[in-house]
Amino acid sequence: MTLPAIEADYVIVGSGSAGSAMAYRLSEDGRYSVIVIEYGGSDIGPFIQMPSALSFPMNMSRYDWGLGTEPEPNLGGRRLVTPRGKVIGGSSSINGMVYVRGHARDFDHWADEGATGWSFSDVLPYFKRMEHAAGGEDGWRGTSGPLYVQRGARQNPLYQAFIDAGQEAGFEVTPDYNGAKQEGFGPMEQTIHGGRRWSVASAYLRPALKRKNVSLVSGFARRVVVENQRAIGVEIDVRKQIQLVRAKREVVLAASSINSPKLLMLSGIGPAAHLREHGIDVVADRPGVGQNLQDHLELYIQQESTQPITLYSVLNPFSKALIGAQWLFFKTGLGATNHFEAAAFVRSAPGVEYPDIQYHFLPAAIRYDGKAAANSHGFQAHVGPMRSKSRGSITLRSPDPWEKPVIRFNYMSHPDDWTEFRHCIRLTREIFGQQAFDAYRGREISPGPDVQTDAQLDTFIREHAESAFHPCGTCKMGRASDPMAVVDPECRVIGVEGLRVADSSIFPRVTNGNLNAPSIMTGEKAADHILGRAMLAPSNQEPWINPRWRESDR
């Protein structure tokens, strides 16, 4: 049974970070109609809206696609979860609400790789356009955009101890890592506003849906329909009935770095041999579709606290109820933060031009899934290298759109990954060993004081490294002549008319830090490409690069 076709000028698949930003910008002047296809449901409810409940939605099948990796050979055959938002606002509705643009050099590297027009000077104006930042560096930040960005209150003294310890160890401090100077220790930024998660559903999608020319269609995207090398629409499954959502102008995939390449392959766009293996007719042989998969891994380095000032004291049911009530009625208190309020970006060695290690600091010893790691007061740093040389892939398990794709990150497959991670552990111990922590430092919980040699550290890494949930790169943007590029610098799929991809899958290389901000920026900039507008004027602002980078790591 098929339903009658519906149509709009632009059809966007996915209401996540990039998709919602595009829906907002493409419909802004009222000239064009926009349909956003989203399979997930509403984001109304305390698990998504309450910032401190962030560990819940990514573990709930109602809000998460429930994807996972194949056994990872270099992590002892562990299967890691790969959460992606299946809800209005996509992954911005289930993420950790950490706001990091990325380093200026990340985008310059994109441009060098063939993503012409995506250097830092080109993308900075789009970051400014999207932001409504409180407390950032003057002239570097946007103050009137739809996306509210704030700093945490940092009331717990451990946040300042972490920043002070970094300075005592000889590292830089930075008042705003999203300003001129990413390198250093300083306050962390959050996409929280008025005590609530400020996802793209709040920032972009709801305002867009108030316009007559935008509609949200609930359905499961099966494939892009291509006729004579032109995308004419998207076939969706609506409660076991097939419907065509026709695009009068263009189809834009913003379905995530996992689902965008999957949809391209189901539509006949991808590595020809792989498509034929699954009986799919080849529309465009693009060997890069699903390749170049990247992520950030991290470890939790945990230390006992000798003072009862950590979040351990509120992990009991009574305290949780009080926090919940305060948040419910006033949107204040410990429920109104993600608790990531101090951060650092540092360089691992002399000769590294810009930071390649990221820290999130937390005044608790607790896992991402909300399970307490220690039955005591503690604090922890999430730490990991930013530019792993390992690459993975997304491939089809079968031609059935409902089948989950095969996800292989090949984590830790490059020897440098091991060297970098060992350095991360030893560096964190050095920072936790500074005078600033003397008043708080108890025994080391994890890895533990007996884990010292390279071999012992490697065993710990193999057993405990976790994804930071920053997958990207699977529909790489590059020159049309690059056989591994999937989209050109205007996000157009090479070899097919009327089809674009705009989400984290187009990143040539993963950026420094969390991916929500650069994904939204991608949607903002892609919208101008789609509308054929002149790009925002490039910025002439110069990022800070450590003058000692050749000689020292700090």
Alpha helices, DSSP H, located in 293-374: 317-330
| 18 is known to lie in a ligand binding site | yes
| 13 is known to lie in a ligand binding site | yes
| 1 is known to lie in a ligand binding site | no
Intra-chain end-to-end CA distance of the chain, in Å: 65
In this structure, which amino acid lies at residue 467?
S
| 98 is known to lie in a ligand binding site | yes
| 376 is known to lie in a ligand binding site | no
Find tokens 């689902």 and name the residue.
Answer: 259
CA 390 to chain centre: 18
| 15 is known to lie in a ligand binding site | yes
Determine the Cα–Cα distance for residues 59 and 65; give it in Å rounded to an integer. 10
| 30 is known to lie in a ligand binding site | yes
How far apart, in Å, are the Cα atoms of 479 and each of 203, 485, 493, 501? 32, 7, 11, 15
Decide: helix, strand or coil at residue 257: helix
Phi then psi dihedrals of residue 367, to 5 deg = -90, 165
Phi then psi dihedrals of residue 32, to 5 deg = -120, 150
| 28 is known to lie in a ligand binding site | yes
| 32 is known to lie in a ligand binding site | yes
| 463 is known to lie in a ligand binding site | no
For residue 62, the 8-state DSSP code is T
Are 94 and 63 spatial neighbours (Cβ–Cβ below 8 Å)?
A: yes
| 37 is known to lie in a ligand binding site | yes
| 369 is known to lie in a ligand binding site | no
| 35 is known to lie in a ligand binding site | yes
**Is the peptide bond preceding residue 447 cis, with omega within 30 degrees of 0?**
yes
Phi then psi dihedrals of residue 369, to 5 deg = -85, 10
Burial 80-104 (b: 16+ CB within 10 A, else e): bbbbbbbbbbbbbbbbbbbbbbbbb
| 50 is known to lie in a ligand binding site | no
Decide: helix, strand or coil at residue 337: coil
| 270 is known to lie in a ligand binding site | no
| 31 is known to lie in a ligand binding site | yes
**103 in active site:** no
Phi then psi dihedrals of residue 145, to 5 deg = -80, 175
| 25 is known to lie in a ligand binding site | yes
Determine the Cα–Cα distance for residues 361 and 356; give it in Å rounded to an integer. 17
Which of 193, 296, 339, 470 is catalytic? The answer is 470
Cβ-based neighbour number of residue 471 at 10 Å? 29
| 199 is known to lie in a ligand binding site | no
Q: C-alpha angle with apex 328: 323 to 331, nearest 5 degrees?
A: 85
In this structure, which amino acid lies at residue 219?
G
| 97 is known to lie in a ligand binding site | yes
Q: Two tokens at 28?
A: 């802004």
| 537 is known to lie in a ligand binding site | no
| 540 is known to lie in a ligand binding site | no
Active site residues: 470
Indicate the annotated binding residues: 9-38, 87, 95-98
Indicate the annotated binding residues for FAD: 9-38, 87, 95-98
